[in-house]
């Protein structure tokens, strides 16, 4: 699917933003204070999340408080500098990172609903199944000698729905937000190394970690789209998907359509303006695609020919002789 972020063996992913603060802009004392906080943070902390609420009324619930990762290159003597170009982009690992200043809601609302201040509704039941002992289903199953299935049970939600505040009939779109998971060594050792760091500058990350686009894309996001988008399409509704630029670059090539009316999925790609003290999320024009093209991109490749596939089978069979 995705090429690795870098082939430079002297580069590692470390903290990009921590409890809403830019790690590379943080004084050493602040880094060590946050390291101590992170080491005792187990989903209960007094640290505010500036992305959930600018006034600090909502607290961070992500263990360790890491908002995003960044690729760092070794500068020697245990120090690091951010990688140059797009390889050094922030990679959001917490979905709340995308909620900064409600930018995503305003932008998506304007593009898909024609209104910059949509209402935001969360956790709406979308899928349900029947449990045992419901009337009509029970009778039908007994008639055909099948096991009893009845009683409605929620088994899936649409996480976010944006609604036009005044339109009648109701106008709305669904929203899927996808941060990237990471794989490799857990964060605790990184927090300890930052806490104990005696040098100057940014400490080079202590171990190998990387954004796991395979788990985040084909294994998590793609099934969500395959389950939800066909029904939304029948209803005449759109699915907006928010990912950051690093995530989108690691998808396979996807053909786009020209008009919102012809798409099933509108990708809104987050980038980060780091010209100030705090990185500010920005969104541009959406990438518009059908579900089928999006699945190809998330899969990250095209099938090989039958001849090539069978050739690989023969190679493995011959090796086993």
**What is the per-residue pLDDT across 223-263, written as a single tens digit (0 to 9) for each?**
999 999 999 999 999 999 999 999 999 998 888 999 999 99
pLDDT reported for residue 149: 43
Is there a contact between 81 and 73 (Cβ–Cβ < 8 Å)? yes
Where do runs of H (alpha helix) occur along the chain? 28-40, 103-108, 135-143, 188-195, 213-216, 222-235, 245-249, 291-299, 306-319
pLDDT reported for residue 296: 85
Is there a contact between 157 and 126 (Cβ–Cβ < 8 Å)? yes
Is there a contact between 48 and 28 (Cβ–Cβ < 8 Å)? no
The DSSP code for 51 is: T
Average pLDDT of the segment spanning 135-152: 48
Domain boundaries, the chain: 1-116+166-321, 119-163
pLDDT reported for residue 152: 57
Would you say residue 154 has pLDDT above 60? no
pLDDT reported for residue 313: 83
**Hey, which residues does 173 pair with through a beta bridge?**
162
Neighbours of 231 (CB within 10 A): 13
In the chain the first and final C-alpha atoms are separated, in Å, by 32
Confidence at 319, pLDDT banded by 50, 70, 90: confident
Confidence at 4, pLDDT banded by 50, 70, 90: very low
Would you say residue 147 has pLDDT above 90? no
Average pLDDT of the segment spanning 1-5: 43
Task: State whether residue 72 is helix, strand or coil.
Answer: strand
pLDDT reported for residue 317: 87
What are the b/e assignments for 132-169, b being 16+ CB within 10 Å? eebeebbeebeeeeeebebeeeeeeebbbbbbbeeeee
**Residues 155-179: tens digit of each pLDDT:** 578 889 999 999 999 999 999 999 9
Would you give the distance in Å from CA 314 to the centre of its chain?
A: 39
Rounded to whole angstroms, the Cα distance separating 239 from 4 reads 28
Q: Which residue has the higher pLDDT, 274 or 153?
A: 274
Rounded to whole angstroms, the Cα distance separating 289 from 183 reads 29
Rounded to whole angstroms, the Cα distance separating 42 from 213 reads 25
Would you say residue 221 has pLDDT above 50? yes
pLDDT reported for residue 321: 63
Average pLDDT of the segment spanning 191-203: 93
Task: State whether residue 286 is helix, strand or coil.
Answer: coil
What mean pLDDT, rounded, does the chain reach? 87
Is there a contact between 254 and 227 (Cβ–Cβ < 8 Å)? no
Find all residues with CB under 8 Å of 224, minimum gap 6, and list them: 176
DSSP conformation letters of 193-247: HHHT--SSSEEPPSS-EEEEHHHHIIIIIHHHHHHHHHHHHHHT--EEEEEEHHH
**Residues 40-68: tens digit of each pLDDT:** 876 567 899 999 998 889 999 999 999 99
* Closest among 226, 219, 235, 293 to 263, alpha carbons compared: 293
* Closest among 62, 50, 56 to 100, alpha carbons compared: 50
**Residues 89-114: tens digit of each pLDDT:** 999 999 999 999 999 999 999 999 99
How many residues are listed for the chain in this entry?
Answer: 321
Rounded to whole angstroms, the Cα distance separating 179 from 93 reads 5
* Closest among 56, 65, 51, 69 to 19, alpha carbons compared: 65
Is there a contact between 53 and 305 (Cβ–Cβ < 8 Å)? no
**Residues 73-95: tens digit of each pLDDT:** 999 989 999 999 999 999 999 99
pLDDT reported for residue 161: 94
Would you say residue 206 has pLDDT above 50? yes
């Amino acid at each position: 699917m995705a090429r690795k972020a870098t082939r430079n063996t002297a580069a590692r992913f470390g903290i990009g933003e921590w409890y809403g603060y830019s790690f590379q802009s943080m004084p050493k004392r602040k880094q060590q204070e946050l390291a101590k906080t992170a080491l005792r943070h187990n989903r209960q902390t007094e640290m505010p999340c500036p992305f959930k609420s600018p006034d600090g009324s909502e607290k961070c619930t992500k263990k360790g408080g890491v908002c995003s990762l960044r690729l760092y290159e070794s500068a020697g003597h245990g120090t690091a500098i951010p990688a140059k170009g797009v390889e050094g982009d922030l990679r959001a690992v917490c979905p709340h990172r995308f909620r900064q200043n409600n930018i995503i809601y305003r932008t998506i609302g304007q593009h898909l609903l024609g209104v910059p201040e949509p209402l935001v509704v969360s956790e709406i039941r979308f899928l349900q199944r029947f449990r045992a002992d419901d009337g009509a289903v029970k009778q039908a199953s007994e008639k055909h000698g099948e096991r009893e299935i009845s009683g409605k049970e929620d088994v899936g939600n649409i996480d976010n729905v944006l609604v036009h505040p005044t339109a009648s009939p109701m106008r709305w779109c669904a929203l899927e937000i996808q941060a990237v998971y990471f794989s490799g060594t857990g964060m605790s050792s990184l927090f300890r190394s930052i806490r104990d760091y005696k040098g100057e500058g940014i400490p080079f990350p202590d171990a190998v970690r990387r954004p796991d686009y395979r788990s985040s894309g084909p294994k998590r996001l793609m099934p969500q789209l395959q389950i939800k988008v066909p029904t939304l399409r029948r209803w005449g509704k759109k699915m907006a998907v928010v990912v950051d630029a690093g995530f989108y670059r690691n998808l396979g090539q996807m053909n786009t359509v020209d008009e919102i009316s012809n798409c099933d999925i509108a990708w809104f790609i987050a980038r980060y303006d780091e010209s100030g003290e705090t990185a500010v999320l920005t969104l541009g024009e959406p990438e518009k695609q059908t579900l089928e093209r999006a699945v190809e991109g998330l899969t990250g490749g095209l099938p090989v020919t039958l001849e090539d596939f069978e050739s690989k089978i023969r190679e493995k069979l011959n090796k086993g002789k």
